[in-house]
DNA sequence: CTCTTCACATACCGATCAGTATTCAGATAC
DNA sequence: GTATCTGAATACTGATCGGTATGTGAAGAG
């Protein structure tokens, strides 16, 4: 096992716990409906720990966003073990196997956190760039996948396709999470194929095409 | 002009003013960050008027959603004169001429209100159905437009296409509003055409296709 | 004109919460 | 071992807000 943690290491750990707790609760109940006492309690600490690590509640939110920019840690806080999907690819799983691989409550919670942060960014000029930057990272990741799926010749500039792909991610999730029966997850896959203009080359397309032929 | 208002008429008018004010402020600042005193003040009234017309703050939110279901009044409160776009078709304008016809601040405010209500519905079981129902109305409207645009034979079941169209609405707006330069509004039109699989028949398509050919 | 009713205004209460001043305990330095 | 430093705990404050109890003035009934 590891040696006794140094003071700095200990504080880093505390900071991460607070960020995890805050991100979870902010998504779950909303930023304004979540008190700092609740955040601290969720992390097994008290409010003093928050003010020792962050300047204010707003600073805490900003720190969450900033942490997400690095994108080098698991998407769903508190589940280091069983979910190593990066943020950049989270919603993509709506299209295929997310039911099987990701527990719905976590997808739900994460989507709500993103939306909460989006609203926060729309209202807080200083925070806007953080979310904008995060979305750029998502699009860049999507663009990469697009190149893979289309074998290098996409039917549209890759950045625009990436924006559309991200739009489908967000838009389908938006509808599916509030009304799962009316908008099933398969819709995402359909839209993706329609936009990429490719029913052939991708590995999932053949499988799902058969599915569609069978299911009607 | 009209005669002196009866008591019931007067109260209806008050109720509508309160709903308009609440919808505006809830979108602008968020539900939890907006106090009932602020809502009342925005309507030129006091908190007493709110509790004379609604059961609670939650009841006020529910009433806003319910009013939206009828969809028989202008989309942007306070602008009866210059904007008669119905809610059901609001974001569609992102694809074409919304810059010209709709003032951005109002689109912004409305989008934020919708997102705010979505979050509210995700967290409040009693309110969930209201937003789900509203989204169904939007999809139904989109389905109707799809039939028009494709001349009666869509490349996919109309309900799925409508869901995709709505997803593009929401998803493009989500990105555009937070980062206008990175995701311009034209993206929506492109996605729409890709999904509908029709560059020909629609009235806008020809115009925009020429645009694309010219612009690269 | 008088009485009743009720939509809304006013004043207030209890609860909640962000932020702060202070204390405490354990890690680090010597 | 002792002193120091500091991250976190604790206790508190001022402000805010949802909700309520009560007052008031105008509309409606007779």
216 residues of chain A, pLDDT tens digit each: 444 567 788 889 999 999 999 999 999 899 999 999 999 999 999 999 999 999 999 999 989 888 877 654 444 333 333 333 444 344 444 444 444 445 667 788 888 989 999 999 998 887 888 889 889 988 998 888 788 777 777 888 899 999 999 999 999 999 999 999 999 988 988 898 888 875 433 333 333 433 433 332
Q: What is the DSSP letter of B1?
A: -
What's the first-to-final CA gap in chain A, in angstroms?
Answer: 56
Closest nt to B49 (CA→C1')? C8
CB of B16 nearer than 7 A to strand C:
no
- CB of A19 closer than 8 Å to CB of A66: no
Distance CA A133, CA A68 (A): 10
Say yes or no to pLDDT of B65 above 60.
Answer: yes
Question: Measured between CB atoms, which of A171, A179, A187 is closest to B132?
Answer: A179
Going from the C-alpha of A24 to that of each of A87, A88, B106, the distances in angstroms are 14, 18, 31
Considering Cα of B42, then B48, then B53, then B59, what sign does the dihedral take? positive
Going from the C-alpha of A94 to that of each of A72, A169, B156, B162, the distances in angstroms are 21, 7, 19, 18
Q: Which helix (H) or strand (E) holds A183?
A: none
Instruction: Please report where in the chains the tokens 């289309």 appear, as a residue.
Output: A150
Contact across the interface for B30 and A32, Cβ inside 8 Å = yes
Q: How far is the CA of B35 from the C1' of D21 (A)?
A: 20
Please give the protein residue whose CA is closest to the C1' of the nucleotide C19.
A56
**Which nucleotides of chain C does any protein CB come within 7 A of?**
6-11, 16-22, 27-28
- CB of B65 closer than 8 Å to CB of B117: yes
**Which nucleotides of chain D does any protein CB come within 7 A of?**
6-11, 16-23, 27-28
CB of B12 nearer than 7 A to strand C:
no
Chain B residues 62-81 with a CB less than 8 Å from chain A = none
Nearest CA to B26 out of B93, B134, B122, B119 is that of: B119
CB of A37 nearer than 7 A to strand C:
yes
Model confidence pLDDT, tens digit, residues B171-215: 999 999 999 999 998 898 889 888 887 543 333 333 443 343 333
B179: left (phi > 0), else alpha (psi -120 to 50), else beta?
A: beta
Contact across the interface for A167 and B187, Cβ inside 8 Å = yes
Model pTM score? 0.80
Helices B158-178, A186-196: crossing angle, 10 deg rounding: 80
User: Which residues on B lie below 8 Å from A65 (Cβ)?
Assistant: none
């Amino acid at each position: 096992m590891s040696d006794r943690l140094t003071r700095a290491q200990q504080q880093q750990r505390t900071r991460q716990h607070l960020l995890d707790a805050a991100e979870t609760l902010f998504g779950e109940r909303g930023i304004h409906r979540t008190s700092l006492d609740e955040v601290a309690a969720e992390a097994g600490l008290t409010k003093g720990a928050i003010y020792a690590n962050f300047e204010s509640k707003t600073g805490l939110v900003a720190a969450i966003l900033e942490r997400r920019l690095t994108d080098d840690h698991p998407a769903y806080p508190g589940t280091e073990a069983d979910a190593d999907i990066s943020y950049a690819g989270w919603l993509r799983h709506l299209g295929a196997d997310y039911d099987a691989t990701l527990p719905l409550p976590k997808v739900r919670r994460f989507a709500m956190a993103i939306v909460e942060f989006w609203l926060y960014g729309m209202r807080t000029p200083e925070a806007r760039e953080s979310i904008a930057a995060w979305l750029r990272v998502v699009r860049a990741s999507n663009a990469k996948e697009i190149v893979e799926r289309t074998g290098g010749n996409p039917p549209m500039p890759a950045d625009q396709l990436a924006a559309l792909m991200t739009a489908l991610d967000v838009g389908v999730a938006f509808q599916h999470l509030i009304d799962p029966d009316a908008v099933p997850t398969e819709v995402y896959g359909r839209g993706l194929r329609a936009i990429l203009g490719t029913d052939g080359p991708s590995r999932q397309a053949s499988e799902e095409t058969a599915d569609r032929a069978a299911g009607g």
